[in-house]
Amino acid sequence: MKSLGKYHRAMQYINTLEESSSLDIKDFKQIQELKEKLRHTGVKLRSLETTRIAFFIILYSSVVSAFSSFIPGLEIITGKLVKIGSVLGSTISLVIVGIASKAISTYTLDLNILTSHLISIYTKNGARVTLIKKKSKSSTHRNN
Burial class (CB in 10 A: 0-12, 13-18, 19+), 130: exposed
pLDDT at residue 137, as a whole number: 53
pLDDT at residue 31, as a whole number: 86
Question: Do the domain assignments include residue 144?
Answer: no
Q: What are phi and psi of 7, to 5 degrees?
A: -65, -45
Beta strands (DSSP E) in the chain are none
pLDDT digit string, tens, across residues 85-123: 666 677 888 889 999 999 999 999 999 999 998 888 888
pLDDT at residue 52, as a whole number: 93
SS3 readout for 24-49: CHHHHHHHHHHHHHHHHHHHHHHHHH
pLDDT at residue 53, as a whole number: 93
Least trusted range by pLDDT, from 16-20, 35-39, 115-119: 16-20
- Residue scoring higher pLDDT (54 or 25): 54
pLDDT at residue 51, as a whole number: 93
Domain carrying residue 46: 2-129
Question: Do the domain assignments include residue 143?
Answer: no
Domain count, the chain: 1
- Predicted confidence band of residue 139 (pLDDT cuts 50, 70, 90): very low
pLDDT at residue 87, as a whole number: 60
Ramachandran category for residue 78: left, alpha or beta (phi over 0 → left; psi -120 to 50 → alpha): alpha
Question: Do the domain assignments include residue 119?
Answer: yes
- Predicted confidence band of residue 74 (pLDDT cuts 50, 70, 90): low
**Which whole number is the average pLDDT over 119-131?**
71
Question: Do the domain assignments include residue 77?
Answer: yes
Question: Do the domain assignments include residue 141?
Answer: no
Question: Do the domain assignments include residue 134?
Answer: no
Question: Do the domain assignments include residue 142?
Answer: no
Q: Please tell me the distance from the alpha carbon of residue 31 to that of residue 90, in angstroms, as a whole number.
A: 44
pLDDT at residue 23, as a whole number: 73
